Amino acid sequence: MSTKALDIERWILELLIVLKQESEAMAQVKQWLEQLREGVMQHDELGLESLLKDIQTQQGLMPRLEERRQQIRMELARILEVSFEQVTLTGLLCLLEGELHHQVTRMRDLLQSQAESLRVQHRGTAMLLADCARFNRLLLNSIFETSHAQVTTYTARGHAEQKRSSDLVNLQF
């Protein structure tokens, strides 16, 4: 095997390690989204605070993995004498064969399915939080009479009265 082929194989193996770490990080993010949804639905303040601390401790992991992946792509581009943009998993599969080809294919498929699953989970969590915010806003508006127009009615004696049709609680004394 030539030196170039060995360098390519070494960098591909390094890339697989980083991609495995990214896959694990994506699984962790999905788990955090599930915990967030459960915590919000169950009003678990302690659980949500603990989740926030966990997220803050892992905050820099994804940027570090992204930076390392980009470094590996640059090295592969240099070795293969192609542009950086051409170094993709699909592009690399054309160069590989045997077990390394199968490993890269499996990792690519895993990352694609995880990314789609994470998108769905994120969308569902965003919708839940948006609905919670909307419900809270409607509830506060109905309690504090901030969003509904007042209707003026008159008593049998001709006195004006201000009424609201959708107040949750009548705050008049």
| Separation of first and last alpha carbons in the chain | 90
Q: Is the pLDDT of residue 59 over 80?
A: yes
Distance CA 68, CA 3 (A): 23
Higher per-residue pLDDT: 120 or 1:
120
Length of the chain: 173
Query: Over 90: is that where the pLDDT of 15 sits?
Result: yes
- For 93, the token pair is 């599969």
Cβ atoms within 10 Å, residue 19:
20
Q: What is the pLDDT of residue 76?
A: 93
Q: H/E element holding 163?
A: strand 160-163
Locate 80 and state its tokens: 């293969």
pLDDT band at 2 (very low <50, low <70, confident <90, very high): confident
User: Percent of the chain having pLDDT more than 90?
Assistant: 60
Per-residue pLDDT tens digits for 125-169: 999 999 989 888 888 877 776 545 566 777 777 777 776 555 555
pLDDT band at 5 (very low <50, low <70, confident <90, very high): confident
Dist. CA 66–CA 111, nearest whole Å: 14
pLDDT digits (tens, 9 = 90+) for 18-37: 999 999 999 999 999 999 99
Of the two residues 148 and 75, the one the predictor is more confident about is 75
- Write out the DSSP string of 28-43: HHHHHHHHHHHHHHHT
pLDDT at 95: 86
| Short-list 55, 87, 56, CA closest to 71 | 87
